[in-house]
Structures are given as structure tokens and as C-alpha cells.
Chain A
Amino acid sequence: MNLFLQICIQGLMLGSMYAILTLGYNIIYSTMGMAHYAQGDIMMVGAFFALDFFVTMDLPIYVAIPLSVICNVLVMLVIERLAYRPLYSRSRTLLLLCTIGVSTVLRNAAQLIWGTQSFNFPTIFPGDIIHIGEVYLVPQNLWILGVGVVMMLLLNLFMKKTKVGRAMQAVSMNRSAAALMGVNMQTITMITYGMSAGMATLAGVMLAPIVKVYSTMGVSIGAKVMISAVVGGMGSMPGAILGGLLVGLVEALGGMYISTTFKEAYPVVLLLVVLLNRPQGILGRKKVVKV
């Protein structure tokens, strides 16, 4: 029983990592209607910025993180302006291809700038393992879970209780109507991407101590993020959290009770199951097209 509990905790910790990134991914999807394939790579860039500020320049952590967020947001906005904006009036598939291209560019740019090897990133939350009975908890992972929850709550508050948040929701539900209400599309676009990049940076900073910082760190997690988004419901904030946690759980439980050889495959199986039974995702909205 303890083993089961332990592995569930592992899965949830892993899942909360995915969830944070998926939140950012879903924000973009719900407001802009596009799948941002490069989300994982933006996280990678954020982690590298954090590496520069926190490790190389040895700035204190509460200075390094905001700086990294600002830099990464700027990078994201530049990408949006140059690569995505010209394609908004075109097909969605074209935009998706563009994000795939951006993903490759970011990875290779990172390799050129920072190098191809892995870099150590010190943990921000040091501390010994906490033991509760037979079960152990790693402090870093607890923090990730906590940050994830806080982020979701803040996001929720923001979306419901502020003008800008409401405007973003309005845009995601009905673009033309929102424009009529005086919502400035360009501003909302920038805010959407900016928020997404900021969240990705935080995710990167939390992941870096565990897996180290390297140019391809966004690749496999990017895939899990997309799976989480579809499983939880594209464009849905609670769906992002649910999807991420589920994917993490499935990965951990599958690895434990079936086989670790196919650990990466279990999320895909989950994806198939969800797609076959509820294609809009567990918490997703059904798209009804009026003919």
C-alpha cells in the first residue's frame, strides 16, 4: 500500500510539472486558437536565462527569476511579432507548422549560444527528504506542486475578476464580439503570450535542478504537455491541471506496475483512450458548429 501511495505521489509531482506548462499552453490555445508546439522550448530558454542570471552572474534568486521572466517574455513577444502574427489570417495548420519551426530554431539557437552540453542548476529549495511514515517527499517536488496550485488559483482569479482577464476569456469565446466591446486584439495577444512565457520560465526554473539545463530539455516535456492539454481539454484551465496530473500519474503507475521499458508510451495510450471516448478532452468544451 505504501508503495502505491509513494508512486502516486511521484506521479502527482511529475504531473504538476506538466500541469504548469500545460496551463501556459492552454492559455495560448484558448485565446489565440493555436497549438503552441514550442512551449517546451520556451521553457528551455527560460531555464537558460535563469542559469545565466542565477549561476553565471551569481545574482540572488529573487532578482534572477524576475529577470529571467522578463527576458523570456521579451523573446516570446519578438517571436510572436515576427513569426506568428503574419500567419494569423491563414490556416491553423500553417500556424502549427510555424510553431514547430520556432521550436527547432530555439533549440539550435540555444545550442549556438550556450552550447550543447548539460549544465548544473542548483536547487532553490534545499532541504532533506521529508518522511511521513514509510512515504518520502522531496522538498523540491513539493514546492513544484505548491507553485502549480498557486499559479492556477492566481490565474483563475485573474481571469474572473479583472478587466484584462475577462477580456482574454471573451476573446477565447467570441473574437469578433470582444473586438466590438473595445478589446484590443494586439494587446490581448501580447498579454497571452507574455503570461505563457512567464509561466514557462517558472516551470523551467523548477525543473532545472532535477534534470539539468540543456538545449533539448523542452522536447520530451513538450510532447507530454501537448498530450496533457488534449487529455484535459484544449483551452480549459482546470483541464490543463487535470491533464497534467493524469499524465504524470499514468506515467508513474504504468512504469511501476507494468514496465519501465514503456514508460514514455503510457501517456500516449491515455491519449488514445481519451480521444476515442471523449475527443474534446475530459474537461473540454464540445465544439458545435451551426450549419
Chain B
Amino acid sequence: MKTWKTCLALVLVLSLLLAAGCTPSKPNPTDPSKTNSTSAPSKNTDPKPSDSTNAPTGQKQKVPIGVAITLSGDNAETGRNFEAGMNIALQEIEEQGLLKDYELDLKIVDDQNDTTTSLNVVNEMIFNTKVKAIIGQIYSTNTLVTLPICNENGIPMLVPGLNPTFSQNGYDYFFRVCGTNEGGQTAGFEYFIKDLGLTKIGIISETSENGQTSYGIAKKIMGSYGLEFVCDENFTTGDKDFSTQVLKLKESGAQAVYTTAAATDAVVLLEQIRQVIGDDILVLANGASESNFLELAGPELAEGVLYYTVWTPALQDQKSVDFVQKYEAATGRQPADVSARGYDATWIIATALASMDGYDVNAADFSAKLADAIRNVDYTGLQGTFHYDDVGEAFYTMKLITYQDGEHVVVRDN
């Protein structure tokens, strides 16, 4: 009887392990899109001659592209916004018939904003699905572990993340599809110090890897102005009690404060700052750029809060206005800055592919060639004109945005 029970237990454990190993991370089920491909057989009747001698005319090669974004958890909204931006790009690419030789086969997977899951997802993409490029990840803590793997295996990674250290490792396969924290913080601090003439600035940074990287950059920037933070505090991820930090901020007499906190934490911190210190102190928050910030804070609390970004729905150029219109029509809400990143990333890949003359997808150096194509791309998107330099950066400057009456308003445009 006892051995029978032991055997049963063993079988159960083994089957659990098997099940755990086989389960892929699925994207959020409420999300309409899972895998997208541009396929329109009617396009093949286009009278333009094809230069390609590799792929037979009338048949597009499927290019598997991995997309690793956060579709669950506290930050699921960000991933969904990114994906929605991608969808608009895909639609436009199809309408314009940009891709004659290729078909984008997007494999969208949820990274759950967890480093371990991210590693598994990316490994799966590279070794099992054999993607030719990866678009991801939004949260830099995850990219820090997966970018080296992509680079090692020669898979170009288009990163919609802001951590500036990515381009400092000499990676040939790294390409950023937005700006960096460094650019953003430069804009922010320039505004405080040069435009407003403030001298007393505080910082409240998260003790996470990403938070501390931002902290380092901020310190450097302050140093370049010959200034030091009058209040230099940290907080641990998950700790919602900012009373000590806010009190110290008050005591220091800071006129402005910068925080690396993500949306939810930023709202709680903001509440406590307004409660204890009042409305006079200026707040620059990373989390204020996220799409759920306004909803969580409400227009009154969000009033005057600053954030940096490359793109914002407040921009008035035609491309942005069109994008906002299409986005609202498709989703019923305003796009976030990550939506622009998703849009641009998709366009960049498509533009790069279009320049490859139908090179054989199954060739061993396809990814390398794709990387080259991306580096040489000349694309003007929502966030600006993308010309990649040697380290994979396209932009070094960012805009500074604030909330006024619940709307995004450009404060400083570099």
C-alpha cells in the first residue's frame, strides 16, 4: 500500500514537471491579436517587376519575428498599448504593399515582466521558433538579461526600453526604438536648472537595478552642472510607505524632485508629496509616462507632473495626428508613448526587410544581413528620423511633457 502511494506521488510529480516544461507563456487571452502576418495574395498581381532572384515571384517568405512584451501583471496595459501600436503599423504596411518578398510572422509572447520568464521566452524564440529578429523588451530589468543572449546568437534585438547601458557593451545586434533615460533626464534637469533656474533638486530612486542605473545617470547630469542633490533617498520595490522619504524631501527644501518610480508607486508617492509638502514642488516621474498613470492619479493629482518621452499624443505633426486618430478608432483610447515605439519598431523591421531584395530567409546569415539592413535604415516615424549609429542608438534627446487638465502638453521640445 505504501509503495503504491509512493509510485503515485512520483508519477504526479513527474507529470507536473512535464506539464510545467511544456507550457508556453501565452499572451493575455482578452487580447485580440496573437500572431499577425501580412498576407495578401492579391498584392502579387502588382505589375512592378521584382528584382529578387531568390524567392519565386508570387510567393512571400515568412519571416518569424519574436515579440517579447509584458501582457500580464501590473503593467499589462503597457504591453497592450505597444501591441496596438504594432497593429496599426502592420495595417499600414499591408495597405501600402511595402513588403513584396516577405511576410511578417510575428510571434507575440508575454514576458510577464519577470526576468526568469523573459529568459525562457527569448530562449524559446531563438532556439525553437528560430526567429530572425526580436522586438522587446519594454522593461529594462528584463532586457538586461535577454539582450546578451540575442547578441551572442546573432539575433538583432529592437529594444523599446530606456536603459542607456544597452548600447555601452559593443553589441552589434542591439537597436533601440526609442530614446534613453539619459536623454530624458538631461531634458528634465536642463528644464529645472537652465530654464527655471532651480538649484535645490531631490531624487527618490528605487533600489532595483533599473532604478539605480537611472540614479547614476541623474547624479552624473547634476554633477555636470556642479550641483548635488539636496535630498537623496531610495525606496524598496513594493514598499508603499514613503513618509520618511517625503519628510526628508520636505526638510531639504527641495524645489523639484525626480523619481524613478513606476506608475503605481509614482501615484502613491505623489499623493504623499502633495499631502505633506504641497503643490509648489515640481515632480518629474518616470512612471508618469505610463498609460495607466493618468487613470490612477486622476487629472487633479496629475496636474503639473512631468515626464520625458520621445513621443506623446500631444504632438501636432500630421503623422502623429493620423496615428492618434487610427489608434482611437481601433481601441477606443488614446495611445501611449509605448504605442509609438511599437509602431516604429514594426515599421523599422518592415523597412529593413524591404531593402533585402528577397534574400533567402533560410540562409544561415539572414539575421546578420537583417541586422545590417536595420543599421542602414532610413525611416522617419512617429518618434523622429531613425538613423542608427555604431552602437545602435537613434535618438539622444527627449521631449519633456506635463499634464494639464488631464491632457499631455509639451513643455520642452529638444
A and B touch in the complex (CB under 8 A): yes
Question: Which A residues are CB-close (under 8 A) to B72?
Answer: 116
B114 neighbours in A (Cβ, 8 Å): none
Query: Cβ of B245 and Cβ of A211 under 8 Å apart?
Result: no
Contact A117 B292, CB 8 Å, known A3-B251, A263-B236: yes
In the complex, A34→B410 CA distance in Å? 57
Query: Knowing A7-B247, A212-B268 touch, does A263 contact B76 (C-beta < 8 A)?
Result: no
| Contact between A220 and B264, CB atoms less than 8 A apart | no
Across the interface, do A252 and B76 meet the contact criterion of CB distance under 8 Å? no
Look across to chain A and name the residue whose beta carbon is closest to the beta carbon of B241: A14
| Binary contact track B248-271/A, C-beta < 8 Å → 1, others 0 | 100100000000000010011001
Chain A residues, CB < 8 A from B251: 3
Among candidates B74, B244, B271, residue contacting A117 with C-beta atoms closer than 8 Å = B74
A 186-205 to B, binary, CB cutoff 8 A, 1 in contact else 0 = 00000000000000000000
State the CA gap A10–B235 with chains docked (Å): 16
| Contact between A256 and B275, CB atoms less than 8 A apart | no
Q: In the bound complex, how far is the Cα of B233 from the Cα of A154, in angstroms?
A: 40
Q: From residue B122, how far is it (CB to closest CB) to chain A in Å?
A: 22
Provide the bound-state CA to CA distance between A217 and B238, in Å.
Answer: 8
Question: Which residues of B lie under 8 Å from residue A6 when comparing CB positions?
Answer: 247
In the assembled complex, A99 has its CB within 8 A of some CB on chain B: no
Tell me the bound Cα distance from A262 to B268 in angstroms: 19
Question: Considering only CB atoms, which chain B residue lies closest to A3 in the complex?
Answer: B251
Q: Is B240 interfacial (CB 8 A cutoff)?
A: yes
Asked if A260 is an interface residue, CB under 8 A from chain B, the answer is yes
B243 at the interface (CB under 8 A from A): yes
A212 and B267 form a contact (CB under 8 A): yes
Q: What is the bound-complex CA distance between A219 and B247, given in angstroms?
A: 25
Q: Are B74 and A220 within 8 A (Cβ)?
A: no
Pair B235/A263 contact, Cβ less than 8 Å: yes
Contact with B along A207-228 (1 / 0, CB 8 A): 0001110101101100000000
Interface flags for A1-28 (1: CB within 8 Å of B; 0: not) read: 0010011001001100000000000000
Q: Is the Cβ of B247 less than 8 Å from the Cβ of A211? A: no
Q: How many residues in A have their beta carbons less than 8 Å from beta carbons of B?
A: 30
Q: Does B141 contact A (CB under 8 A)?
A: no
A244-286 interface code vs B (CB 8 A; 1 in, 0 out): 0000000110011001110110000000000000000000000
Docked-complex contact A116 and B73, CB < 8 angstroms: yes
A129-B275, A212-B296, A214-B74 are known contacts. Are A219 and B238 too (CB-CB below 8 A)? yes
Is A120 in contact with chain B by the CB < 8 A criterion?
yes
Q: Which residues of A contact B238 (CB under 8 A)?
A: 216, 219-220
Given contacts A10-B243, A14-B241, contact A120 B296 (CB under 8 A): yes
Q: Is the Cβ of A260 less than 8 Å from the Cβ of B264? A: no
Count residues of chain B with CB under 8 A from any CB of chain A. Answer: 29
Are B296 and A260 within 8 A (Cβ)?
Answer: no
The yes or no answer to A176 lying at the interface (CB within 8 A) is no
Interface residues of B in 259-290 (CB under 8 A from A): 264, 267-268, 271, 275-276
Q: Shortest Cβ distance from B101 into chain A, in angstroms?
A: 41
* Contact of B77 with A by CB under 8 A: yes
Number of inter-chain CB pairs below 8 Å: 73
Residues of B within 8 A of A136 (CB): 276
Least CB distance, B410 to chain A, in whole angstroms: 27
The reply to whether the CB of A118 lies closer than 8 angstroms to some CB of chain B is yes
A252–B243 touching, CB < 8 Å: yes
The distance from the CB of A40 to the nearest CB of chain B, in whole angstroms, is 12
Chain B contacts with A in 330-380, Cβ cutoff 8 A? none
- How far is it, in angstroms, between the C-alpha of A255 and the C-alpha of B236 when the chains are bound? 11
Residues of chain B lying within 8 A (CB to CB) of residue A263: 235-236, 239, 244
B151 within 8 A of A: no
Confirm or deny: B123 has a beta carbon within 8 angstroms of a beta carbon on chain A: no
Residues in chain B near residue A256, CB distance under 8 A: 244, 247-248
Decide if B210 is an interface residue (CB 8 Å cutoff): no
A7-B296 in contact (CB<8A):
no
Contact (Cβ within 8 A) B247 A260? no
Which of B234, B268, B275 sits near A211, CB closer than 8 Å?
B268
Interface of chain B residues 295 through 320 with chain A (CB within 8 A)? 296, 298
A118 pairs with B247, CB closer than 8 A: no
Do A260 and B267 touch across chains, with their CB atoms under 8 A apart?
Answer: no
Q: Whole-angstrom distance from the CB of B87 to the nearest CB of chain A?
A: 22
Q: How far is it, in angstroms, between the C-alpha of A79 and the C-alpha of B238 when the chains are bound?
A: 27
A214 to B296, CA, bound (A): 12
- A-B pairs with lowest CB-CB distance, top 4: A255-B244, A211-B240, A261-B234, A10-B243
Binding site for A on B (CB under 8 A): 72-74, 76-77, 207, 233-236, 238-241, 243-245, 247-248, 251, 264, 267-268, 271, 275-276, 292, 296, 298
| 7 contacting pairs across A/B (C-beta < 8 A) | A120-B298, A212-B267, A214-B264, A259-B234, A260-B245, A261-B234, A263-B244
Q: A212-B267, A260-B248 are in contact. List 14 more A-B contacts (CB 8 A).
A: A10-B244, A13-B243, A14-B241, A116-B76, A117-B77, A120-B296, A129-B275, A211-B268, A212-B240, A214-B74, A214-B264, A260-B245, A263-B236, A263-B239
